[in-house]
Amino acid sequence: MFHRSTALAALALTFFSLDTVRATPTQTQIQACSQSISLDNYQDTVTYSTSDSTAHNQSYSYSVSACTTPGVKVTSIYTQDLDSNTIYTCTLKQFDTTGTLFTTCSITNGAIATTAQSSGDQDWGDFLKVGQKPTFYTIENDYTVDYYTAPTASAASRKRRALQDEPGLEARSDLSPRINCPAGFSSCWTGVRDQFECINTSSDVESCGACPRSSDAQDCTSIAGSNEVQCFASMCKVISCDSYHTLSADGTSCEPNGRHKKRSIYATRF
């Protein structure tokens, strides 16, 4: 009896000290942060020119205190064609003291307009996901796309539409499901049938170096003992390690510094 309560007290102490060090947000704190987030200048219907070459962007406002103390992690930001389910990732950013998170996405407004025109895919959504295992929240803002064609772009667009309208070509997406991505992006299978996304594998932390599920891809966020990681020039780079690990000399891993046993107890909570 005495032995058992000692063990419990030791465990509680371990959790307490870890929470103090790592400042892990609770489920309630993650929820409070997510509820403070709003997409700036949200419009449920947007009108883009098919020749608009500006990158689609998203700007969010959030409560600095709710989202940064302790830090709530942004896990992904993307815009999605809700008709074809194609995902276009946006640069992953984290909350800071400015209260504004601005990101540009891997598709231009012109390409969104062109898709609406050629495939009739007018239903799109801007997504931001926050949290950490086991608590995640998704902020979704759907928008309808109206398009107009500038004279210079119309010839190419008409040609594309003519091809797509031709009977018998409808099954084409099943035969070659890869999507066309802008230069510098790889077309990666999402793991769900027929769904591809455009990923910049030279800088994507979760698909560093290659598409996810390929043997060359590295998920930098899974580096044991790491606190902050980056994918830089297709290679994972560890910026900092947790307090039970020390950054290796080459900056690619975190080495246990003798206190790592506590961390394995912490991991069993999930």
Ligand X SMILES: *[C@@H]1O[C@H](CO)[C@@H](O)[C@H](O)[C@H]1NC(C)=O
Residues that bind ligand X (CB under 6 A): 54, 57, 109, 184-185, 200, 202-203
Least Å distance, CB 248 to ligand X, is 23
Q: CA-to-CA distance for 57 and 232, rounded, in angstroms?
A: 22
Closest contact distance (angstroms) between CB of 73 and ligand X is: 19
Nearest to 204 by CA among 223, 181, 185: 185
Residue among 25 and 110 whose Cβ is closer to ligand X: 110
Minimum distance from CB of 216 to ligand X (Å)?
Answer: 17
Residue nearest to ligand X (CB): 184
Q: If you ran DSSP here, which 8-state letter would residue 71 be given? A: B
Smaller CB separation from ligand X, 62 or 88: 88
For residues 229 and 237, is the Cβ–Cβ distance under 8 A?
Answer: yes
Instruction: State the nearest-atom distance from the C-beta of 57 to ligand X, in Å.
Output: 4
Q: What residues contact 4, with CB distance under 8 A and at least 6 apart?
A: none
- For strands 45-49 and 135-148, give the pairing: parallel
Shortest distance (Å) from residue 203 CB to ligand X: 3
Conformation bin of residue 184: beta by default, left when phi > 0, alpha when psi is -120 to 50 = left
**Choice between 147 and 244, CB closer to ligand X:** 147
Q: How far is the CB of 202 from ligand X (least distance, A)?
A: 5
- With H, G, I as helix, E, B as strand and everything else as coil, classify residue 242: coil
**Residue tagged 């030791």 (tokens):** 10
Indicate the residue among 132 and 203 with the shorter CB distance to ligand X: 203
Q: What is the DSSP string of 149-186?
A: --GGGHHHHHHHHHHHHSTT-TTHHHHS-PPP--TT-E
Closest to ligand X by CB, 232 vs 266, is 232
Q: Closer to ligand X at the Cβ: 76 or 200?
A: 200
Q: Please tell me whether residue 198 adopts helix, strand or coil conformation.
A: strand
Cβ–Cβ < 8 Å for 270, 134: yes
State the chain's maximal CA–CA distance in angstroms.
Answer: 83
- 147, β-bridge pairs: 48
Residue 182 CB, nearest approach to ligand X (Å): 6
